[in-house]
Every structure is written in structure tokens, then in C-alpha cells.
Structure 1
Amino acid sequence: MKNQIFRISKEEKEELKNKLLKEKYFVSEIESEVLKDNTSFLTKFSKEFCFPYVVTNFNALNDYMMDLDWLNNELGYVLIINNFNKISCTSYNDTIAIAESNFSGMIRWLYYWEEEITRVTGYWNEEKQIFENGMSPRKFDIYLVD
């Protein structure tokens, strides 16, 4: 399994979303317009991923996005960002913060759910020289819809 970021059309999105929901993946769909500032971004993710608490900083966001136990989904997670080409920020500083914090964090989530989760949740077997008994990797794909 390779977690990835894809760019798709609106037409492809509907078919894909229906397929993923039918297969029982957790699917979150957000509009890019709400990502115009850090507060909107953090609040939207808190709601969409049903965080136990609203997050107010990117460290907390990353902690929650690399947990997600409360969603009780063994298959994985999909984030759909609609109208990605229309992301606009209220200020240059917000644009830089979103680019540096938010999107680099998203790439980290892909890797975490693909591979790192087995090491973080398991233990090192010195004799076998491998991590054991960790949680299984899960799908975490991001779809950017034009």
C-alpha cells in the first residue's frame, strides 16, 4: 500500500467517494475556501475528523491526525479537498503558514499511516531485529479536486 496525494476532477470525485464509502473507509470532504486562515483550517479539521477537542495549533492537529482511534476504522482514511485550485488566504503570512505547516503535515500523515504506525505502536524485537505487534498500516490518501 502506498498512501498518496491525487489530483482529480469533480466527476471522478463522486464515483470515487461512493466507492470508498461503500468499502467502509472514513471519508472527509472539505471545501478549500475554508482553509483561508489558520483558525478556519484547524476548526474545520477538528469537526471533520471528530476530534475530542477543538485544536488551536498545528502540533495538536498533527497529534490527533496520527491517532484517530475514536473513528474506529481499520481500513483507513481519505481526505477530499474540493476546489483546491481556489485556496486563498487573507494574508501573505497566513499563506506561508498554511503552506509550511498544513501541507507538510499532511504529507507526514501519509507516511505515518503507511509505515511509521507499526513502529510507533509496536516494540523492537532485538533477537529478530524487527518491530512487532504494532498496529497495521492503513490507507490515508488525499484527493485534490479542481
Structure 2
Amino acid sequence: MNNQTIYIAKGQEKQIIKKYNLKNYYIAKLDGSNIHTFSDYMNAIIIAFQFPKNMFINTNSIDAYNDWMRDLTWIDQYDGYILIIENFEQMMSSYPKEKGIIMDEFRETICPFWKDEVLHTVVDGKAKGFFVLLVD
């Protein structure tokens, strides 16, 4: 499984899903033009990934975020996950450092976990795809 972050042009989402044969994947969408701060991002993630109410309440902690993004048991019936961030350039444009941290977490923590770390750290863990599509 080649989990990754991919920069694409608007309208290419379906092509990527077909190219990588991403059937039965949970699709979460964010509109970066509405995400100005880290808190906005966290609240959008909670909605997009349908976090159970009151489960993910520490929205200021990157560690809590990583823990929950490597759980997703409430939507584990899917073969993988796709996060589409539309208007990515606009997302957190006044906070490039924080935006960079978020993207680093996908590359260094979340995507590698779902690729194979889950097999060694979770009882009966199953490798899944995790793609982040950055759209502009």
C-alpha cells in the first residue's frame, strides 16, 4: 500500500481514485478557504471524519490529533481513507508553520501508521490506504 499526499488540480479527484483503485474508501472533504486557524482545522477534521461526540475534545493537542487519526474504529469498515482538502493554498495561509506541521504529521505519522505500523501495534490491526489529496 503506497499511502501518500498528492497535489492535484481541481476536478482530478475522481481520476486519482480510479488510478489508485481506491474503492471502498471513506472520503472526508475539507474546504481550506474556511480553515483559517489550527482550531478551525481540528473542528473541520472532527466533522469530516465523523468523530463520535465528545471523543476528541482536546483540539489544541497535536498528540491527541495523531492518536485519533490512527484510531478511526468508528469508520473501520472501509478499506482505507481519503482526505481531500480543497482550496489548499488558502488553508491557514496566515499560519504556514502550523499548516506545515499538519502536513508533516500525515507524511511522518498518520500515513506510515496505516501503511504497516498498524500491523505491529494494534491487535488484529489491518493495513489500510490513507491518501491526502491537496486540491487547488
Same fold flag (TM > 0.5): yes
Q: As a proportion of its length, which structure holds more helix?
A: 1
Report if aligned partners of 1:17, 1:27 keep a CA contact under 8 Å in 2: no
| Structure 2 match to 1:48 | 48
Check if 1:137 corresponds to 2:124: no
Q: 2:93 aligns with which of 89, 95, 100?
A: 89
Q: Deviations over 1:42-76 (max 9, x none)?
A: 10011111112344122211111000000132401
| Structure 2 match to 1:73 | 77
Structure with bigger gyration radius: 1
Q: Deviations over 1:95-117 (max 9, x none)?
A: 322322x1121121110000100
2: distance between equivalents of 1:46 and 1:19? 28
Which SS does the other structure have where 2:11 is aligned?
Answer: helix
Give the TM-score normalised by structure 1: 0.77
| Structure 2 match to 1:61 | 65
* Identical-residue share of aligned pairs (%): 25
Which has the bigger relative contact order, CA under 8 A and spacing at least 6?
A: 2
C-alpha RMSD over aligned residues:
2.3
Report if aligned partners of 2:28, 2:82 keep a CA contact under 8 Å in 1: yes
Which SS does the other structure have where 1:98 is aligned?
Answer: helix
| Structure 2 match to 1:116 | 117
